[in-house]
Amino acid sequence: MTPTSIPRWTLAALCTFVAALGSWAATVLPWRSWTTFAIVTTAFAAAHGVTALLAWFGRPARAAAWRVQSLAALVYLGYLTWNLVTAASTIAALYGGLGRGVAVSLGLVWCIAAFVTVPLSAWGIACTGGLPSRRRVVAGSSVAAGALAWGVLQARAEARATPIGAEVADRAAIEAALSSAIPTRRGEAPPERLSLMTTAAAHCNKPPEQIAASIVVTWVHAVDGDAAVEHDCLQGPTLDAAAARLRERLAGNAAPGPIAIDVILSTDPLEHVAPVVDGLLLRPGLDGVCQGGRCLMPWQLLALDAFAVSKPIPVVPELRFGFDPRQLRRAMALPTTPELEGLVRIETASFVADAKGELHALHRLREDGPPLDAANLHAGKLAAERYIMSAQGEDGRFEYRLDPFVGKVTYEGFSLARQAGTTLVMCELAEDRKRARKVAIAALKMLVSTQRRHGDLAALFYPAEKSVKKIGLGDTALATIALLSCRDLVGDRFDEDIDRMTRFLLAMQRPDGGFHPRFDLVAGAPEPGPDPLYAVGQAVFALSLLEAVVGAPGASSDRFAAHDTVRAAVESAMQYIATDYWSNFAEDFFFMEENWHCLAARASLGHHRHDGYERFCLDYVRYKARLILDEGDEVAPDLVGGYGFGNVLLPHNTGSAGFGEAMSAALSLASARGESMPEHEAALRRALGFLLHHQWDEINTFATSGPHPVAGGFSENMGSPHIRIDYVQHAMAAMGHGGRVLGLLE
């Protein structure tokens, strides 16, 4: 084509779109300003912007600009391809496989980049003179493919840590050397248990990569009633020499209690790969970090909550990952810079010696196992029960969050839904019924103290002193479940509250069986809107429990709403969920979080069966089971049973716990229907085994503290230490109900 016959309006529109997209990517995607990605992407956007301007004004120079832009865009795509592939290779070498979620994400990024570059560039090259000779194109492509392959191999090689020596690679030799170094008789015990928590870096005489053996030890030193945590790095030309120094260091100095020991196995100097990947170069719970002779152990990085720095999607605050070099250097008392250079990743063999001197090997701060059997599952459930009971404040609230390494409790983020859910589990599953009754009464009193009344209706809103005009459905629905479920334990003292709150739920139901999301206290009527997530299932659950109460033989006819009214409401809701609630294109691909419908269907087995509603639950758990990691997913053994996408982003414990709750209910439904679900039973066993493995216990709490025992609690995941009451509540419910349906618990 001649310069004047080059397309104008179509070219202008397309180039403007790509320029805008490139500008957005350059300014929003990088975590820091003026990264290489930001600069290169800005140039890419500018090239398209120049062509767009020339095309809008009809300048003949748009032909030359289009050709330059097309070639530059292909180079830019090559730059992205190189970085995405090498980044993927680095993560694969570190984590033993990308995992399905990360693989899909990287593939989508490349597809988007190719979509906005290849068609427009190919059109531009064809319209402005075509390609040079075929021989040159083939030669150039071969060189590019060879360079890409070399980059993949180089990235994988650089991501592998360098072993320090053959001696420290022998785990049996390490355990033997450490066992001989731990004193069988300790000094005097401190007046109270001391946590081994310290965020101070250990100071090694030499950088670990420059000497054959480095052992970092943390213990309590108690003399003449004074106790303090000691943290030291002991080195030697051989493992035995370092162990001998450890023996000398502990002799007469170690008080009864745990001793944390890390043997440094290998080192890997960190280098910049890509903005997102850089934050993943340290693996949570597996890797520590050094700079020079200053080192932080893997458990110390967990204590610093160092692996939850980045929040790439603000509307999903739970998605947090990656570390910040500045935080690590600050902990090592070094000048803070955002660069990786100078930091060295270390892999360690981690152990804790208990008060008897027995050595326990830890992986991600957890021992292997325990196997899923009746004894271990029962012990885990009891430990969770004790944790919850000890985490209740004087005002009846359950604490919201505990930082186990600092011992700090906070109620910030407290919600009525979590208060009600925790109370429900206590009433359903607690074995210490006397203490559970006391706990439940205090918790329920706190819940009903937040009532806002409108006539004979009552809804809950927290905090009680805050003025409110509109109240959502969920808090009241879940609190009603707790009140009705606890009725056998606490008696009829809350019946008036139950009556007002269930009348509120009935008033919130739409004619089609669904539920309005909010109630307008000023207008005195529900506010129309879409079905609220979670709350619909909770409302069905609460009304079904009420139906069982009012339909029981000898039930008072004037204490609550009429049985016929309640039964009709439950039937209408179940029919709506079964036929209209999720009857769209998405049903064939995924479900939202619908656990409460499964729990409601199980609670209804004895008095209100609905085939479609039960099938909705069974379809839901069949979908959810696909997200439980198994042995065939190429994940680390301690991630099997996790609810997630692979090794890179650690599965959250609550995901597996929620699955356990829903699947245990679904298996009860299947049994009542005469159906067999052996593969889903197996998935439930994996999830329960995952929860048992990740529960805090007496061994892995060596560096924790708090106003109550930490053992029995659950953190968000292995890379984030904070314990929330709902994490523990959901895990206890999964273990209790799952153990029953699998025949492991009474």
In this structure, what DSSP letter does residue 513 have?
Answer: S
More confident residue, 468 or 99: 468
Confidence of residue 668 (pLDDT cuts 50, 70, 90): very high
Confidence of residue 210 (pLDDT cuts 50, 70, 90): very high
Residue from 39, 44, 50 nearest 22 by CA: 44
CB 630 within 8 A of CB 647: no
CB 323 within 8 A of CB 307: yes
| Strands of 518-520's sheet in order across | 470-472, 518-520, 525-527
Cα 71 to its chain centre, rounded Å, is 42
| Strands of 401-403's sheet in order across | 408-410, 401-403, 720-724, 715-717
Neighbours of 145 (CB within 10 A): 10
Whether pLDDT at 464 is above 70: yes
Residue from 584, 588, 586, 546 nearest 568 by CA: 546
pTM of the entire structure?
0.81
In this structure, what DSSP letter does residue 584 have?
Answer: S
The 3-state secondary structure of 614-679 reads HHHHHHHHHHHHCCECCHHHCCCHHHCCCECCCCCCCCCHHHHHHHHHHHHHHHHHHHHCCCCCHH
Beta bridge partners of 199: none
The CA distance from 312 to 322, in Å, is 10
Residue 666 is predicted with a pLDDT of 97
Cα 489 to its chain centre, rounded Å, is 34
The CA distance from 219 to 230, in Å, is 5
- Can you list the domains of the chain with their CATH numbers? 3-160 (no CATH), 163-362 (no CATH), 374-741 (1.50.10.10)
Q: What is the mean pLDDT of residues 270-276?
A: 77
Residue 211 is predicted with a pLDDT of 92
The phi-psi region of residue 743 (left if phi > 0; otherwise alpha if psi is between -120 and 50; otherwise beta) is left
Whether pLDDT at 507 is above 60: yes
The one-letter code for the residue type at 578 is A
pLDDT digits (tens, 9 = 90+) for 707-722: 999 999 999 988 889 9
Helix ranges (DSSP H) in 211-324: 239-250, 275-278, 298-303
CB 732 within 8 A of CB 416: no
CB 517 within 8 A of CB 535: yes
CB 391 within 8 A of CB 399: yes
Burial 122-132, CB ≥16 within 10 A → b, else e? ebbbebbeeee
Q: Output Rg (C-alpha) for the chain, integer angstroms.
A: 30
Confidence of residue 584 (pLDDT cuts 50, 70, 90): low
Residue 669 is predicted with a pLDDT of 97
pLDDT digits (tens, 9 = 90+) for 93-118: 555 544 444 555 566 677 888 888 99
Confidence of residue 138 (pLDDT cuts 50, 70, 90): very low
User: For tokens 């946590």, what's the residue?
Assistant: 195
Residue 93 is predicted with a pLDDT of 54
Residue 30 is predicted with a pLDDT of 66
pLDDT digits (tens, 9 = 90+) for 320-373: 678 889 999 999 999 988 889 999 999 999 999 988 889 999 999 999 989 999
On average, the pLDDT of the chain sits at: 87
The CA distance from 96 to 189, in Å, is 43
pLDDT digits (tens, 9 = 90+) for 447-457: 999 999 999 99
Confidence of residue 495 (pLDDT cuts 50, 70, 90): very high
Whether pLDDT at 648 is above 80: no
Which pair of tokens denotes residue 697? Answer: 């216990």
Residue 131 is predicted with a pLDDT of 67
**3-state SS, residue 273:** coil
Neighbours of 675 (CB within 10 A): 12
Q: What is the C-alpha end-to-end distance of the chain, expressed in Å?
A: 82
Confidence of residue 158 (pLDDT cuts 50, 70, 90): very low
Helices and strands (H, E) in the chain, number of each type: 23, 18
